[in-house]
Structure 1
């Protein structure tokens, strides 16, 4: 009798643990799909109409390339947490126009830290290119820092590294916004020691966290004082100049 009761208790305990796990996994999956910040239709439509670039919705990601096909280098770009990858097309189109093929990834479950794929999972979108850099926005930048082993350079948008790259032989450009309420200038400065001494850190006056994408305002962010057009031009100038050096 005692043994039978013990088995029932064990069975109910196992069912309880299983139910908790199912609820936890289900809740996490639901959370990753709720509140995804979608791309603004106007800027994306303008980018699609840009005759100087091509946009390919490829299996590896969204591929932006110069329309003349003259591209010798590539950039794999990882989106921020729960941000639609298409929200970065408008911001990165200028980089593609200048001759760098850009592959915007689609992180698993809309969160970069769930996506464990290596850089080659994305560079395969343009196998003719041998020189690749990696970059990302916000949490996407944190993930990009973990993918630098096979990259020539690192580009961070409103982000910073959790991995120590101070001793890496790596060119780094870190762009931040003076009005960023999420990856604040102070937080980015505090993590400066994790980047190589040669890293270039530039604060864009008037830019907020969401200024680095086209997905509308974001909770907890500051209020931008820079226009979208000026932001796009500034980011393009800084990134293109960085790659040209």
Structure 2
């Protein structure tokens, strides 16, 4: 009996580990290459994560960003480069086993990439946003990309920006609105016309998602404008 239980546990753990490594959505080469060639930012593949900083070194704020489930962290470099250009250091985390829920690290495990910065925000896409809500206690503000909280932050004074896509087939606008009560009353919710779930990164189409009608370039510009205004307000 004991060996049967051990065998089941081994198979379960082994199957889970294998599942986390299968179907990881890779970063699209074109947008990533353009971001890597951007002379206005510096990209560092650091132990804490992928760190984007203004090339002139003039950064007064920071953003820790948690990727969506089984999405390559490099898929968020292009959409977040404009935020770094504008003076915010961005640390894109590498969740353990490609799933944010398996990553128990605290916020300071990522902010240590730029210890000179005191003003840190936390954000994430999809499941990464759910994890960001759990890390928000130690942050100045919270940013959600096609996501919503399972943690009740309604009684906090946290500044929140929640971005949704009108064509999102996964974190639909209705789901985002349904979880609105978990956010502070002052939270700003913005629906981006034409954006799908995968529009918030550059990793290609995603199963179950809607069809975007907004271009990648326009999406990047829209997110940058909203995010920069929020973080530097």
Which residue of the partner structure matches residue 41 of structure 2?
53
Name stretches of at least 5 consecutive residues in structure 2 with no aligned partner.
none
User: Structure 2 CA distance, aligned partners of 1:167 and 1:87?
Assistant: 33
Give SS of 1:208's match: coil
**1:115 alignment partner, one of 103, 107, 113:** 103
Q: Deviations over 1:131-181 (max 9, x none)?
A: 100000000000000001110000000000000000111000000000000
User: Structure 1 CA distance, aligned partners of 2:78 and 2:204?
Assistant: 13
Structure index of larger Rg: 1
Let me know the Cα RMSD of the aligned residues. 0.3
**1:39 alignment partner, one of 15, 18, 27:** 27
Deviation at 1:195, TM superposition (A): 0.2
User: Structure 2 CA distance, aligned partners of 1:70 and 1:165?
Assistant: 32
**1:79 alignment partner, one of 41, 48, 67:** 67
Say whether 1:205 aligns with 2:205.
no
Which residue of the partner structure matches residue 164 of structure 2?
176
User: Structure 2 CA distance, aligned partners of 1:133 and 1:156?
Assistant: 11
Deviation at 1:203, TM superposition (A): 0.1
User: Structure 2 CA distance, aligned partners of 1:31 and 1:168?
Assistant: 36
**1:167 alignment partner, one of 155, 174, 196:** 155
Give SS of 2:208's match: coil
Which residue of the partner structure matches residue 62 of structure 1?
50
User: Structure 2 CA distance, aligned partners of 1:244 and 1:56?
Assistant: 23
Name stretches of at least 5 consecutive residues in structure 1 with no aligned partner.
1-12
Deviation at 1:119, TM superposition (A): 0.1
Deviation at 1:244, TM superposition (A): 2.2
Report the number of matched residues: 233
**2:146 alignment partner, one of 158, 161, 167:** 158
List structure 1 runs of 4+ shifted beyond 2 angstroms. Answer: none
Deviation at 1:243, TM superposition (A): 1.4
Relative to the length of structure 2, the TM-score reads 1.00
Relative to the length of structure 1, the TM-score reads 0.95
Give SS of 2:8's match: helix
Which residue of the partner structure matches residue 5 of structure 1?
none
